[in-house]
Amino acid sequence: MTVPPTPVTTPVNKVAQDQAHRLIWDLPLRLVHWSIALCFAGSWITAEAGFDWTETHFTFGYCTLGLILFRLLWGLVGPTHARFSSFLKGPRHVWRHVQHLRQAGGPEAPGHNALGGWAAVILLTALTVQAGTGLFLTDDIFYAGPYNPMVSADTASWLAGVHHWSFRVLQGLVATHLLAIAWYQFRLKQNLVVPMLSGKKSAARVAASDAIQSSALWRALIVALVAGLSVWLLLYLAPEPIVADYF
């Protein structure tokens, strides 16, 4: 029995493989996307795990704030498809996309489509409310957010209610997000997960003019430093905690 020869990857073959896929999602955006997902899961788990995990829960919240700030800045200075200007469209574009949601083979946006772009903004807004309100909360016993001393007990209680309901909203948004991914995969035949992992889409689906040339890593490092320093300053400048005198 003759064993077929093992195919050899030559430079020509490698160039052909690279040309078959085009870079759409830059590496920093992908890392932030999955890090936000991890922080959301971690916040959920630590919230349910009980008192001993409160500090870890706060840490996930601080990380979420840093990631959100990075994403907002990256939406202004990042590569093409990371920028808000590339995917925030008016109602006409959104409605046009909605009309294509029932049929496979419809037009495919290289980055966020008109509907997905607004969904991303809504998710970021809900995450900001969730993490932001957490800065003002307290359990009235041992732990309090860094900015809890700046608000009254009634305000802190109201913000706790917002924090609770914003998490419920986030759960619904995440569930909708996952259902949308499944719809695109099985109904529209568009895989949204693999490109967010690899950063690339098939050349058959994306024009060469829509591809980005690099992930702009040096620019991302500067933005990450700005976001990290901003969160550090936010915590460093927080007022001193109020220590109750029981004696």
pLDDT at 91: 93
pLDDT at 51: 85
* Number of structural domains found in the chain: 1
Residue 142 maps to a domain = yes
Question: Residue 117 is encoded by which pair of tokens?
Answer: 């772009």
Residue 129 maps to a domain = yes
Question: Residue 229 is encoded by which pair of tokens?
Answer: 């320093």
pLDDT at 108: 83
Residue 5 maps to a domain = no
Q: What is the domain extent for residue 57? A: 24-236
Residue 244 maps to a domain = no
> The domain that contains 229 carries what CATH number?
1.20.950.20
| Mean pLDDT on 191-203 | 94
pTM across the whole model: 0.88
Rounded to an integer, what distance in angstroms lies between the CA atom of residue 235 and that of residue 229? Answer: 10
The yes-or-no verdict on residue 11 having pLDDT over 80 is no
Nearest CA among 39, 45, 28, 46 for reference residue 62: 39
Higher pLDDT, 39 or 206: 39
| Mean pLDDT on 87-113 | 86
Higher pLDDT, 191 or 7: 191
Residue 240 pLDDT class (50, 70, 90 cuts): confident
Question: Residue 190 is encoded by which pair of tokens?
Answer: 């568009």
Residue 245 maps to a domain = no
The yes-or-no verdict on residue 119 having pLDDT over 60 is yes
Residue 11 maps to a domain = no
The pLDDT mean for the chain works out to 89
Residue 19 maps to a domain = no
Rounded to an integer, what distance in angstroms lies between the CA atom of residue 219 and that of residue 150? Answer: 35
Residue 241 maps to a domain = no
Predicted confidence (pLDDT) per residue in 177-192, tens digit:
999 999 999 999 899 9
